[in-house]
Amino acid sequence: MKLLLVRHGESTWNAEGRYQGRKDPPLSARGALQAKALAERLSGSVDLRPNAIASSPLARARRTAETVAEKLACGVTIDERLIEISHGAWEGLLRTEIQRRWPDMMAAWRSAPDSVTFPGGESLADVQRRWQSALLKLRQGAQDDASEENAP
């Protein structure tokens, strides 16, 4: 199984410099164009063209995935475990606000992100556990599909 990880297109909060985490701002106009460009790129490449698409439940990720899926004529599986890291109290704040309120934590996030657990949020280790669980399920699904294709 080949795995291609793709980040969602730019959201309106990305454009503003806000931490979004699990908040769900929509794709910006630029983000929608990025999703279309990704769909074009993947549809034009035999090596990159996916057989299946899984997405976070967040609208910005779903819209990116659905734009690609429409172009490739395939479906999108929504998996809650693929949701973005919870930035907790940082969500919705500008980088400058975070820097002012949590300067030491911001410095740690920049230099040693694995050492940070967001106030009211998660750590990268939490995200890793969720994602590993999701990847195991995807791998199992790929193996099941391969078994069905090879059945007499």
* 4 inside domain: no
Q: Residue 29 has what pLDDT?
A: 98
Does residue 1 belong to any structural domain of this protein? Answer: no
Q: Is residue 87 part of a domain?
A: yes
The answer as to whether 122 is a domain residue is yes
Examine residue 89 and state whether it is found in any structural domain, yes or no. Answer: yes
Q: Which phi and psi angles does 38 have, rounded to 5°?
A: -60, -45
Which CATH number goes with the domain that contains 41? Answer: 3.40.50.1240
Host domain of residue 112: 12-150
| Residue 142: predicted pLDDT | 64
| Position 3 in a domain | no
Write down the pLDDT at residue 129: 95
Domain count, the chain: 1
What is the reported pLDDT for 139?
Answer: 81
Q: In the 8-state DSSP scheme, what is residue 53?
A: E
Q: What pLDDT is recorded for position 49? A: 87
pLDDT of residue 45: 87
SS (H, E, C) 23-42: CCCCECHHHHHHHHHHHHHH
pLDDT at 146: 54
- In sequence order, the 6+-apart residues with CB closer than 8 A to the CB of 123 are 114, 116, 117
pLDDT at 151: 55
Report if residue 5 sits inside a domain: no
Per-10-residue mean pLDDT of the chain, 152 residues long, equals: 86 96 96 97 89 93 96 92 96 96 97 97 96 88 60 57
Q: What is the pLDDT of residue 52?
A: 86
**116 within a domain of the structure (yes/no):** yes
Q: What is the Cα–Cα distance from 152 to 142, expressed in whole angstroms?
A: 18
- Give the catalytic positions in this structure: 8, 84
| Residue 150 confidence (pLDDT) | 56
pLDDT at 3: 79
